Amino acid sequence: MSRMPSALLTLGVAVALVAATGSVPFQNASATSRSPSQTGLVYRDLHSAADRDCPTGFRSSTADPKTCTHGPDAAPSGVDVTRERTVTDLTAAAEATNTTTSDPSAVPCYGDGVSGRRVQAIYAVASDRPDRYAEVADLIRGYAGWVDQIFADSAAKTGGYRHVRWVTPNCNLDVAHVLLSASGDDSFSNTRNELAANGFSRSDRKYLVWVDATTYCGIADVHNDDQPSAQNRNNSGADYARVDTGCWGAAYSTEAHELMHLLGGVQLSAPHTTGAWHCTDQNDRMCYMDGGSTSSPQTYPCEVDSLTLFDCGNDDYFHTNPAPGSYLATHWNAAANVFLASDPSGSPTSQPVTETFTGSLSKRTPSRSFGVNVHGGTMTTRLSFTKASALRLTLRSADGSIVATSQGTSVLSQSVAVSDGYYNLTVSLPAGSGATFSASVEHL
């Protein structure tokens, strides 16, 4: 596909893009003369929460009581989301920013393209609007390719590789075609509910939805979870991000911004948090004055050429190799999200990782379980323990079925071939009064 050619846009190119499009990244809507509807600041079906799961965000009207969103992002200056964009308009804009493609394999593919945790691209349109899937599906593939490039370029800043694990059957990006009811595009809640009713509700999927509508710029789910572990809520689904036509395919990708929210950026504990799921140190794809609770003003430690990239200082939400003891080594780091792949070649990750779990067992607590996210291959567990003659080791898949089980004396070892997905490892005490154990799990 044809994309922006370098890992970092030059300052001249970035300035030229602003001049050509009249747009800059998200900004405080109060600084403009546009109405809330023109900026996409529509709060229909959203309710302030102020609780543990959603301390500064909103609840959407869904079946999930813990569903939280940061609320709608204001459209860039010069963008009126209520204005209809024709296919000609969309194509011209994509050509201007080099985000157009006719290649269905516009993004890397991993494994069989469908198993494990992946991002599903969706085109959704309400029944009272023209269905333009045939005309825009390839444009969406181009937008997805630009999103993927932004992740790759951002990872390159810290010497790493990251690509989105898209749904790519036969190595082609799948753009699902969803027809909503006439009210299905009226609010974020309606869109989420109807997608779930249509089967797009898998726990191993993040859903990036291009909605052919004129209500929002972008809006996404968020999770207030900054623990640096595989069990982090941002490591699972089903989660949704919606981008309407006014903000499709911009050079400063709204799609990349909303997908990053689904992956866990920016947590409220981040050093430069706005207090409303964004950051204060520009120039950055996730930073802008969002009206959050922090009194800190926006600062500009990075040049304008980093506006398309994530984490200006690589200290708030994205670093492929954070220093020991740093914030991103001790808190959630979106670069570690299992919906991203770390191999640039478009093949499954080949470097094994080792996780260690420790604990104790007693008659009152005879078992302990731990979650592990795996990209496929061989999973090897070594269990050492004291105070017990034998322990049992059981590996279950996400649906609860037993993949492998063994029982024996210390050191107990177990190796099994597994596919992409989430697994539950249980250490249990078959007999005796107690035990202390340490389990190391090596996997891809």
- Confidence (pLDDT) at 30: 42
- Confidence (pLDDT) at 295: 66
Neighbours of 415 (CB within 10 A): 11
DSSP code string of 10-31: -HHHHHHHHHHH---S---GGG
φ, ψ at 101 (rounded to 5°) = -155, 150
Peptide bond between residue 439 and the one before it cis (omega within 30 degrees of 0) = no
For the stretch 275-312, what's the b/e string if a residue is b when 16 or more beta carbons lie within 10 angstroms of its beta carbon? Answer: bbbbbbbbbbbbbbbbebebeeebeeebebbbbbbbbb
- Confidence (pLDDT) at 229: 82
Pairing type for strands 175-180 and 118-126 reads parallel
Say if residues 217 and 79 touch (Cβ distance below 8 Å).
yes
- Confidence (pLDDT) at 18: 34
- Confidence (pLDDT) at 377: 75
Rounded Cα distance, 240 and 210, in Å: 11
Neighbours of 39 (CB within 10 A): 27
What is the helix (H) or strand (E) element at residue 325, kind and residue range? none
φ, ψ at 242 (rounded to 5°) = -120, 135
- Confidence (pLDDT) at 310: 94
- Confidence (pLDDT) at 300: 84
Query: Could you state, in chain order, the average pLDDT of each consecutive group of 10 residues for the chain (444 residues)?
Result: 35 32 45 74 84 80 74 89 93 75 70 90 97 95 92 91 92 95 95 94 95 96 90 90 94 92 94 90 85 75 81 92 90 93 61 76 90 76 94 86 93 86 85 91 77
Give whole-number Cα distances, 147 to 154, 164, 285, 400, in Å: 11, 8, 11, 34
- Sequence-distant (6+) residues with CB within 8 A of 229 are none
Say if residues 423 and 443 touch (Cβ distance below 8 Å).
no
Rounded Cα distance, 360 and 379, in Å: 23
Say if residues 429 and 435 touch (Cβ distance below 8 Å).
yes
Bridge partners of 105, per DSSP, are none
Rounded Cα distance, 319 and 333, in Å: 7
Give pTM, 2 decimals: 0.74
The token pair at 153 is: 């370029």
- Sequence-distant (6+) residues with CB within 8 A of 125 are 131, 132, 133, 178, 179, 180, 185, 211, 212, 213
> How open is the CA angle 143-148-149, to the nearest 5 degrees?
95
